[in-house]
Structure 1
Amino acid sequence: MWALLTDAEAFPRWNSTVTRIGGPIALGRKLAIQVPISERTFTPTVTAFVAEQGMTWSDGFWPMFQGVRTFELTEAEGETTFAMEEVFTGLMLPMIARTLPDFGPPFEQYARDLKRAAEEGA
């Protein structure tokens, strides 16, 4: 599963919520992410990276506004559990919170796509 999450070039082949990732996905690297629901290119930086366990992508201008997406893999009894969350903070959050999309459905689709690809050995 980790190989799927860290192969920027292959991402669009298994993940329907991502059109393109310019990588590489590695600590300290800035990514260029395109998604089908937006014309905008998102440019988070990989701010934490522990192989086979998890990573964090951060974007924005702290302290004004920042989004932090955390990916976590947990192994137990021969199975891997995937968790992903995005937390927004900053002084401008109260003013723009209503304009943020609902990340629930795309995050659920992301997890379904990852599960399917991992089970198929993509």
Structure 2
Amino acid sequence: MTTTTSTTVQIDAPAERVWQLVTDPDWWNRADNGVVEVTGRIEQGEKIKLVSELQPKRGFTLSVAEMQAPQRMTWTGGMPMRLCTGRRTFAIASEGDRSCTFTMAEDFTGPLAPLIVKSMPDFQSSFDGFAAALKKDSEA
């Protein structure tokens, strides 16, 4: 497994509020979070399409593979025959009634993963921007 990027931020808002935003396609589309567009329903078993500011001319179809409200969500996508599979995990750890820690990480697996990862842009600033936008909007 190759972890390419992760970010963590402390948010002064309940985990449920953070969960509400991170599972709302409308929030993804209006927030200043590094994402151009998300289409589809963010619900377990559904497919969504994500267009990132890093690659605005290319959309990625992803499956919402796991949802455990309000703690964890995982999206997966990749190449046929599992030559390269990406897994983006969103984790929200509650720290009492009014605060939580949000972590987002992206991992790639498969025989072509090392080559694919080398050809990808650096996600770190995009991930950090996403976490900052989520913090700002969750605390508003």
Question: TM-score scaled by structure 1?
Answer: 0.92
Alpha-carbon spacing, 1:41–1:94, altered in 2? closer, same or farther (3 Å): same
Contact preservation (8 Å) 1:9, 1:20:
no
Aligned residue in 2 for 1:48: 66
Contact preservation (8 Å) 2:19, 2:69:
yes
SS of structure 2 residue aligned to 1:117: helix
Deviation of 1:23 (Å): 1.6
| Alpha-carbon distance in structure 2 between the residues aligned to 1:43 and 1:30 | 7
Deviation of 1:15 (Å): 3.6
Deviation of 1:91 (Å): 0.6
SS of structure 2 residue aligned to 1:37: coil
Q: Using CA pairs under 8 Å that are at least 6 residues apart, name the structure with larger relative contact order, 1 or 2.
A: 2
Q: Which runs of 4+ in 1 moved over 3 A?
A: none
Deviation of 1:103 (Å): 1.3
The C-alpha deviation readout for 1:39-84, integer Å capped at 9, x for no partner, is 1101110000011111000001352000000000000133111000
Aligned residue in 1 for 2:116: 96
Structure 2 stretches lacking a partner, 5+ long: 1-17
Counterpart of 2:44 in structure 1: which amino acid?
A: L
In proportion to residue count, which structure has more strand? 2
Question: TM-score scaled by structure 2?
Answer: 0.80
| Alpha-carbon distance in structure 2 between the residues aligned to 1:95 and 1:2 | 33
Counterpart mapping for 1:28-107 below 5 A: 28-38=45-55, 39-61=57-79, 62-77=81-96, 78-107=98-127
| Alpha-carbon distance in structure 2 between the residues aligned to 1:32 and 1:50 | 21
Structure 1 stretches lacking a partner, 5+ long: none
Contact preservation (8 Å) 2:87, 2:106:
yes
Quote the RMSD (CA, aligned, Å).
Answer: 1.2
Identity, % of aligned positions: 34
SS of structure 1 residue aligned to 2:93: strand
SS of structure 1 residue aligned to 2:35: coil
Deviation of 1:86 (Å): 0.2
Aligned length in residues: 120
